[in-house]
Amino acid sequence: MGRQVTTLALALLAVTRLGAGPFGASALMALSYLPGALLGVLPAGPFAATIGLALETRICAVVAALAIFLVPTASLGFGFPALLSYQFLFGLSATVWAISMTTTQQLITARAPGPGCRVLQAALIGTVPIGALGGGALAGWLGSIPVLTGGATVALLAAACLWLP
């Protein structure tokens, strides 16, 4: 949910607050996310080999969640540098996180296939429409910046839960 809502919010923020226009918003998203995502592929394996999959997952989840705070920061006068930084940092950390999670799921599925992975996928995919509707309704009522900040806070709290025993 976080990525989809944040991408939509980023595009709306770039068009409405920063006057980027549709092409500017698209170029911003493509040109800033792609390098981070591509670079994220390179350190994923060595990073996990050095510190382990569990720690890699935790660190990258926190970095990705912290990057989301750059989206509402963009409206405080930091504009495109904040959005570009968000896209790059999120692309990098989310890519490493996704590779780590996929590797972990493959290891778990090899030992105990089935229910665990199905429940996780249902939870991740099933909450997207709920979050989109709830976020849109809240943004209409409270404004986009408080909702984006709240969403970033929820993402950070979720990432912090990975550090629980």
The model scores a pTM over 0.85: no
d(CA 111, CA 117) in angstroms, rounded, equals 12
Domain that holds residue 53: 2-161
Per-residue pLDDT tens digits for 85-105: 888 898 888 888 888 877 777
Residue 153: the pLDDT is 93
Per-residue pLDDT tens digits for 50-69: 888 788 888 888 999 999 99
Q: For the chain, how many structural domains are there in total?
A: 1
Residue 1: the pLDDT is 42
Single-letter residue type at 53: L
105 Cβ neighbours under 8 A, 6+ residues apart: 117, 120
Output the average pLDDT for the chain: 78
> Average pLDDT, stretch 40-52?
78
More confident residue, 111 or 37: 37
d(CA 64, CA 114) in angstroms, rounded, equals 28
